[in-house]
Chains A and B, each alone.
Chain A
Amino acid sequence: MPELEKLGLPEYFEKTKEGYLSCRVDLQLLKETVRTVIQKSMSRFIGIVALDYGLDIELLYNFSLNKNILTIKTMVPKEENKVESIVAIVPAAEWSEREICDLFGIKFLGHPNLESLILPAGWPQKEHPLRQPIRGSIPPHACSILEALFAFGTTIRPSSWIKQKREEAGLPGIPPLIYGDERALAEVQKLLRDIEFDRRAGYDWLQKRLRGGR
């Protein structure tokens, strides 16, 4: 986009509406992205906004650039709860990071002085007034059903008992559904990834369970 080039911004920025440009980056790439923006454009730091989505906290790094608001977005999983500080690149972010640490409990690694900024003296160290308990959007009673859907492509997993009984009844032991068909299962799992349902539901592919517990 010529407009991005003119502003000195990388091509992965998108214009969301008139006067607003944004990009979403992985946590590991945040610091480098901020560095690129600061070095290659005339951006000025505005502040950092934190939003609690239950499983993750989203951080919005806002900059001002030639009458545009520029936002770099990243998600911090609550289990990790840490992100690299950008203070070394943007000294003005020092208080923003301290404020978010106070209110949401996120640790900013490499911050020169991550002491409390706005909470009153004597406030309990592990209590962060704007932080919600880790919790997904899936109702507890639907969690095991959904975990089976991600792992097996069905909501019920065939037991060895049913396989044996099906064979005794003259039916194939494995019913003709996705279970046991590795290729079909991989395809369904890819679809679930492609539509980002795993992210929305908070499914952890390694642990094979939904984040946030029951």
Chain B
Amino acid sequence: MKPLHFLDPYLPQLKICSACGLCLFSCPVFGVTGLETDGPRGRLMLLRAFAAGKIAPAMIVEALARCLLCGRCESACPSQIPLERIFFAARFALADQLPVSRRRRFLARLLSSWPGALDFLQPPVRFLTDYLGYKMGRKKVFLPAFQPFARRSAEKAGGVLLFSGCLTRRIFPRVGTAALKALGLSGLTVLTPPELVCCGRPLAAQGDRKGLLKALRTNLRVIAALEFDWLTSPCPACLRTMLEIWPEMEGLSGTEREQLNKLQDRIIDPYILLARYLPSAAAPEGRIYWQRPCLLDDVACQSALRLLGSLPEQKEPPVCCGAPLQCLDLKPAPADSPKLALRKAGAPSLAVGLADLLRSLTGSAEYIVTACPGCMLALEQHITVPVRHLVEILALRSPRP
């Protein structure tokens, strides 16, 4: 058995790990189950054995699929092993073994190749769910009321390109509207080209390299035709994908690679921009629980917290919402399985285990503030406390006199 070539560039890095275990503390999945195979160290050990041809891929697929790809372990690793990239590469290498249903794969591809199709599909699905009482079995169906946020074209060259991301565009259009407003309040010109497709993160999580490359190419083509100073998004997952996964992609032409390199320097978190330009205001009232998105980096997080005002001290590291689990079809572990948190008897799945933890932390809060539509989706599914995106709060500020 030979290791698949996606892992080849990382083979020396796999060997560096001294198994010190400092990554364990940062891993949200290990935090719930406490199992070695649910921590970055265990996953890396399994990958190391797989790369050496010692074990069959089936042995590591589950451990790999339970990784949330949040990248916290990478920032915690003192040996600076690019863990997040290694786990993505492993998913590419084991794409055909990952538990992804056809329906989910189809939806991810649709979002990245023909997102307009969903605009047509939305009214009938809405009709089915609302008027015929058809239950989708979840609190939130994937296609909510169709209310695309206002598209504003650039009045002059320059300004900010707002990459809305699928979740903002399809499920939380209010976040997109608020982002437009907050950037507008800051005096910035905003571009929101409707031709942009999915950033490709769900495809990467499903190991679909071809689909990801296609999405990247489409986006690059659209972006290259525009003039702007910064590219930003209310979704940190989109930004992280652009910064970390896009440059790793092979198969781009010379021009495309050049366009991508040019783009990299202009990608910025919205909170860094807003902290610079948004008029200041008093901190919002009420007891807030700040759900730090795993994919929001430290600098952006500091800016976000500055914008939000003073907050009570919270547990570090924060608990992940579990949204990335929705990219795959993980089977819930049976009730007597060690895969469950041993002390959290009754939690039917990892997502519920994470939600239980979050519920215990957010109990006394009046509302939860986060900076990621993915977190919003997962939190709304499991928690009754209202959830708001940070840009929604910032959009309420009064304009500069």
Binding between chains A and B: no
Interface residues of chain B, those whose CB is within 8 Å of chain A, are none
